[in-house]
Amino acid sequence: MTSIIDQLKQKQWLSQGGHCIEATENTAFQDTGYRRLNRALRGGWPLNGIVQVCSPLAIGELRLLSPALTHCEQGYNVLINPPGCLSGVFLSNLGINLDHVLVLHPKSHKDMLWAMENCLKSGVCRNVLAWPTNNIEIAQSKRLKLASEKGESRCFLMMHKASEIPLPVDLGITLQPNPLGLDIRIHKRKQGFPSEPFFLDMSEHWPRLAIEKPTDNVVHLHHHRHNGRAYAS
């Protein structure tokens, strides 16, 4: 039985959960730019590997990742098959250096996987953000992971929802919109259990896009006196 479990772990078909482990000096993380998220991730984004981001479109997912993309002066940020018409002004307003951005629109899912793998292992691409139109298979995910380790790069796999069959990714998070930011759940991570959903307040970073916190419905009456009689107004 032990040998079977070891084989499943080696093929990354079985993940092992554990109690929360504090980040050590040997653990490589990148600051997410959000203290609450850093605490939840026990350090930040992994420097290499695959990060699966399950999110509806246009709820702030790129703003969440923008701090990781702005610190990219030694390589390229590659966006593969982004939805809609991505604006350079938008990326620039996020603080991303456009000289270090490549946008690719492959003609097929096969071409997209080829572009992802070669960018990840090239050694000149720091981050690869990909929006696949078809499901990613386990074998394909393992190839991308090996490519990211070879090129010391990171892949943000942007998906509408988690795969029915869990993929061998280094980190998986699920995002939901919130008037003041995002509701986040860590649905997969190495050496740890999934987390309960938590709220990430983004109003401090993006105040113009956050809905103001509602005020209470209490009507405050001001009392004053006239000719010895009390009035409320």
DSSP string covering 187-231, please? Answer: EEETTSPPPPPEEEE-TTT-TTTSPPPPPP-PPPP-EEEETTEEE
Separation between Cα atoms, residue 199 and residue 197, nearest integer Å: 7
Residue 207's pLDDT is 80
Percent of the chain with pLDDT over 90: 65
pLDDT in tens, 61-71: 999 999 999 97
Q: What is the CATH superfamily name and number for domain 27-232?
A: P-loop containing nucleotide triphosphate hydrolases (3.40.50.300)
Q: Please state the domain extents for the chain.
A: 27-232
Whole-number percent of the chain with pLDDT over 70 = 78
Mean pLDDT computed over every residue of the chain: 84
Q: Which residue has the higher pLDDT, 226 or 151?
A: 151
Rounded to two decimals, what is the model's pTM? Answer: 0.80
Q: What are phi and psi of 80, to 5 degrees?
A: -110, 120
pLDDT in tens, 165-208: 889 999 999 999 999 999 999 999 987 788 999 999 998 887 87
Find where tokens 């307003």 sit: 93
pLDDT tens digits, one per residue of 72-122: 777 999 999 999 888 899 999 999 999 999 999 999 999 999 999 999 999
